[in-house]
Amino acid sequence: MTSHLQLSDITKTYGHFTALDNVSLSVDKGEFVTFLGPSGSGKTTTLMIIAGFEKASGGSVKVGGQSISQLAPHERNIGIVFQNYALFPHKTAVENVYFPLQMRGVGRAQGLRQAEDMLSLVGLKGFGHRHPKELSGGQQQRVALARALVFEPSLLLLDEPLGALDKNLREQMQIEIKRIQRSLGVTTIFVTHDQSEAMSMSDRIVVFEKGRIEQAAAPLDIYHRPQTSFVAAFIGESNLIPATITNAAARTAENPTLGGLDYSGTEVLSNGQKVTLLVRPEHIKLSRNPIEGRRNVRMTVETIVNYGDNALVIGRAGDLPMRVRVLGADVVIIKEGEECCVSWMRDSVFVITR
């Protein structure tokens, strides 16, 4: 793979407020990269700078090795899909898809054929004659996607395009967008605050916070090996345990409440170093009594949230909050207000140094 999109030291300021602080990122050709983060973290601002709708205060944007920082949005050959789709209500679906080809001087007969082909690719064969008001939300989203792809853009930008859809349709469209992206091989940047979307669709996730990139990695690396406490807390559910390294060679640490704890990993640490230990809720076993061969801790159950096939058990081990994810059938062994035992293996404990 070769680098296709290159962001170098992008900054964006509004008066005294810094929205982006030296954001640098390389995206390979054909890669599906998701910008993930809370509101105000800088993910959408970065997307708008790539698109040309926002001007960076500093830094550069390159596509295919060429700077596009000084180009107007319509000169960048970038396809964009927004959350509200922005379809022309007076145009049919096929005319909406043809529009960017028309703006590029493609003849009507040829352009409409290309538009129909693209509608077929997104699963809307036979829907070209309909107006947006005659289409469902999911169908409108597909038209917007077809319009963004029909002119073979060098880059596809998706700004929370699934936010207006219901849960089932959103999950269906996640699969469809990824299928279409793979079939065309178009380099794609997807912006969302939905962790499940990011985990299920992405080749790589870029986590933003306070105008900076906290971590950029494959979804499973982001989940299992977060580099910062923010990423660990933001992605999925976490048990974050403050600790002090007691024996770096033996990979042991100590928490004031839980006492000695073993951890896994290859990080080079120092005795006395302050760290955070991460244990995911699904790696913890809930039982009535201690289980041999595991690190066991007594926990008082405060709340049980039942999801049917699984349950989240929330409690405290001394003054330390704990979360345990169990199969729905297993939660019958414990009730709110009772004390139980929670345990885990050393390989389930990861160390975070910042």
Return the structure tokens found at 189. 């940047």
Beta bridge partners of 217: 205
Q: What is the pLDDT of residue 330?
A: 67
Residue pair 76/52 in contact by the 8 Å Cβ criterion: yes
Name the nearest CA neighbour of 26 among 163, 153, 140, 187: 187
Q: What are phi and psi of 280, to 5 degrees?
A: -70, 145
Give CA–CA dist 328/49, Å, rounded.
Answer: 45
Residues of the chain with CATH 3.40.50.300: 3-229
Q: What is the pLDDT of residue 22?
A: 93
Class of domain 3-229: alpha beta
Sign of the dihedral through C-alpha 223, 226, 232, 234: negative
Q: What is the pLDDT of residue 110?
A: 92
Q: What is the pLDDT of residue 331?
A: 67
Give CA–CA dist 80/255, Å, rounded.
Answer: 49
Q: What is the pLDDT of residue 78?
A: 93
Beta strands in the chain (DSSP E): 3-14, 17-28, 32-36, 58-63, 66-67, 78-81, 155-159, 188-192, 204-209, 212-217, 239-247, 252-255, 259-262, 274-279, 285-287, 295-306, 310-317, 320-327, 339-344, 350-352
CB atoms within 10 A of CB 152: 11
Give CA–CA dist 254/123, Å, rounded.
Answer: 56
Q: What is the pLDDT of residue 305?
A: 86
Read out DSSP for 41-53?
A: SSHHHHHHHHHTS
Q: Which fold has domain 237-346?
A: OB fold (Dihydrolipoamide Acetyltransferase, E2P) (2.40.50)
Mean pLDDT by 10 residues, the chain (354 residues): 86 92 94 93 93 93 92 90 85 93 90 92 90 89 90 91 75 85 92 88 94 94 88 88 89 88 82 90 88 89 85 89 82 80 89 84
Name the nearest CA neighbour of 48 among 191, 152, 197: 191
Q: What is the pLDDT of residue 36?
A: 93
Residues of the chain with CATH 2.40.50.140: 237-346
